[in-house]
Amino acid sequence: MSSKKNIAVVLGTRPEIIKLAGVIRLLEANVEVIYTGQHSDDDLSSSFFESFRLPAPDLRLEGVGGASRGSQISSAMSQLNAHFVATPPRLVVVQGDTNATSAGAQAANYCDIPVLHVEAGLRSYDRSMPEEINRRVVSVLAAMNCAPTLKSADNLTDEGISPSRIRLTGNTVVEALQESLPPRSVSMKAVEDLGLKDDGFVLATIHRPENTDDEGRLAAILDELARIPLPVVFPVHPRTAIRTASFGMEGKLRKIVCCPPLDHPSFLALARHARVLVSDSGGIQEECTVLKKPLVVVRRNTERPEAIEAGFAVRVEAGPEIYNTVLRFIEDADLLHSLQSVPCPFGDGKASQRIAEIALSMASGEEPQFCDFGDYFSYSPK
């Protein structure tokens, strides 16, 4: 690591690249990017560096992608530990709740390097979720927790984390979406190329193990999607493709409009013009509040209740609730108009700037200042 690159950013998945891209660019020559390769599929991760105008990672770890959770974390920790001992940064930045996040925070902590945790404080209170364990571990280890919402900050203080180790920054997803969202003319052409109409289709994604690895749940979800009276566009995640094949459910996919996984701008282009979104994704729960689109969340629980409380999302179980809720959204003629005036609960599009300033202060040995963020809930997409 050069003397200038005193801040290491550890990431390993597509959502981390999307949400940290703005921070990385603002840190400029100060940052070293370490890619663990947790998402081994290039379509889901590596190509995103170019899409978000990022240089190739300074370091790529080996043998992480495709391994079990324990193996991913232990392998990444071992390689990161060796790297941090050889060339210690002044600060390590991690984001969210992935295995890369956990490995990066633990390796830094064991090397006495301060950790900054981006998107800290989310809680599902479901310890069966690997992500819940990861984010709880990192919150304890982090020297600074950047909370995206007031609720997340409250979660941290409720767990005994000192307010001096918490900063309310907003969520970087807002500016990431702002940057990735194509012009309306471009997004409309993408819709028309699929033979679809504005507000005339449903966009769905399913990829979480709780849904894909349970044969009954996956079958119920696909059956309910097929019942919807509008075309359902379904970008098929690699995990979902593997499970549908192993369960012999390829016939169910033929009843909906399937396509390969989409890059971020292409997905947002379709999401902007969809009547309703259906997903088990955490990121889409945030993005729907910026796009002002109704979302049906197919999850047993969620660590992002803000989208539900604001009125953008409804959480349902796998089964008839999916169809019934989508149909209710479709038949509500005033819904899309009413959502336009609802503030995004995840911030004002300046989170990356705040986080970069905090990181630079910490790397220089200074105490990041508390800020009055003013009109925090002010961003709406053009």
**Is 83 an active-site residue?**
no
Beta strands across the sheet bearing 59-60: 59-60, 31-35, 7-11, 91-95, 115-118, 144-147, 166-168
Instruction: Give φ, ψ of 31 to 5 degrees.
Output: -110, 140
The contacts found for 318-323 with CB under 8 angstroms, 24 or more apart, are 318/211, 318/214, 318/216, 318/217, 318/218, 318/220, 318/221, 318/224, 319/220, 319/224, 320/224, 322/220, 322/221, 322/224, 322/225, 322/278, 322/296, 322/298, 323/224, 323/227, 323/228
Distance CA 8, CA 59 (A): 10
Question: How buried is residue 25: exposed, middle or buried, by Cβ count under 10 Å (0-12/13-18/19+)?
Answer: middle
Cα separations in angstroms, 147 against 135, 137, 175, 295, 354: 12, 15, 16, 23, 11
Return the closest-CA partner of residue 175 out of 368, 355, 372. 355
Identify the active-site residue in 117, 207, 237, 273. 207
Bridge partners for 313 per DSSP: 295
Distance CA 171, CA 150 (A): 11
Distance CA 91, CA 249 (A): 47
Distance CA 153, CA 319 (A): 34
Q: 51 and 264 in contact (C-beta within 8 Å)? A: yes
Q: 75 and 38 in contact (C-beta within 8 Å)? A: no
Distance CA 135, CA 129 (A): 10
Determine the length of the chain: 382
Distance CA 89, CA 73 (A): 20
Distance CA 180, CA 197 (A): 21
What residues act catalytically?
207
